[in-house]
Amino acid sequence: MAQYKVGYFVGSLATGSINRTLSEALIKVAPDTLEFTEIPIKDLPLYSYDYDEDYPPEGRALKEAILASDAILYVSPEYNRAIPGGLKNAIDWGSRPWGQNAFARKPSAIIGASPGGIGTAVMQANLRSVLAFLDSPQLNAPEAYITYQANAFSNGECTDPSTRDFLATFMSEFEAFIQRVLSSAPGHIGQDPDTPHDRG
């Protein structure tokens, strides 16, 4: 029986995203104690603090999904050595308005796939700095830079034994990390104040 609800973001908006394929494979090898729900990001308008007094339905739905999750998983490509714009926009929505940072104390993990060997490494470093600012505890090891090969994935599953074993280990470590974080600070998830954005 599932014990923890994991909301997950796919950082690519592309229909044929290899990171969406990776997210499907991760769910297949995850422990049964984790229940997954994708948090959609493609319909969000660009964030502005003009919305802070009255969030649109898409912004409210996003924040509600984050708050309903025990932990957050990020499955994302790297765009121009950084977080994809759509994902960064979603994170900005989730962290606002001031004092209502939905990511505070939510355990998180980051993984990404690329045709190159470490193609998401810079994005992950970029995202880690953002999550640190948002007070979201992060699974630091194992690091997970997946070299995507089409013949290693089929029908939402990873068919390459060594990659599948690594993904299963990653998700098991994430489950253990969630348990450690939530057992050490129950009742405080998402309640911390945050630092105001630069109102530029």
Is 192 contained in some domain? no
Whole-model pTM? 0.93
Is 197 contained in some domain? no
80-118: pLDDT as tens digits: 999 999 999 999 999 999 999 999 999 999 999 999 878
Is 199 contained in some domain? no
Asked if the model's pLDDT at residue 192 lies above 70, the reply is no
132-165: pLDDT as tens digits: 999 999 999 999 999 999 999 999 999 999 999 9
Is 200 contained in some domain? no
What does the pLDDT average to over 178-190? 76
Cα–Cα distance for residue pair 69/6, rounded to 1 Å: 5
Is 150 contained in some domain? yes
- Contact by Cβ (8 Å): 109, 143: no
pLDDT at 197: 58
Is 34 contained in some domain? yes
Cα–Cα distance for residue pair 163/86, rounded to 1 Å: 28
Structure token pair of residue 32? 């049964």
184: number of Cβ within 10 Å? 10
CATH of the domain at 179: 3.40.50.360
Is 139 contained in some domain? yes
Cα–Cα distance for residue pair 135/82, rounded to 1 Å: 20
Q: Which residues constitute the domain of residue 79? A: 4-49+57-184
pLDDT at 191: 46
59-75: pLDDT as tens digits: 999 999 999 999 999 99
How many domains does the chain fold into? 1
Is 113 contained in some domain? yes
52: number of Cβ within 10 Å? 14
pLDDT at 199: 61
What does the pLDDT average to over 36-57? 97
- Contact by Cβ (8 Å): 170, 81: no
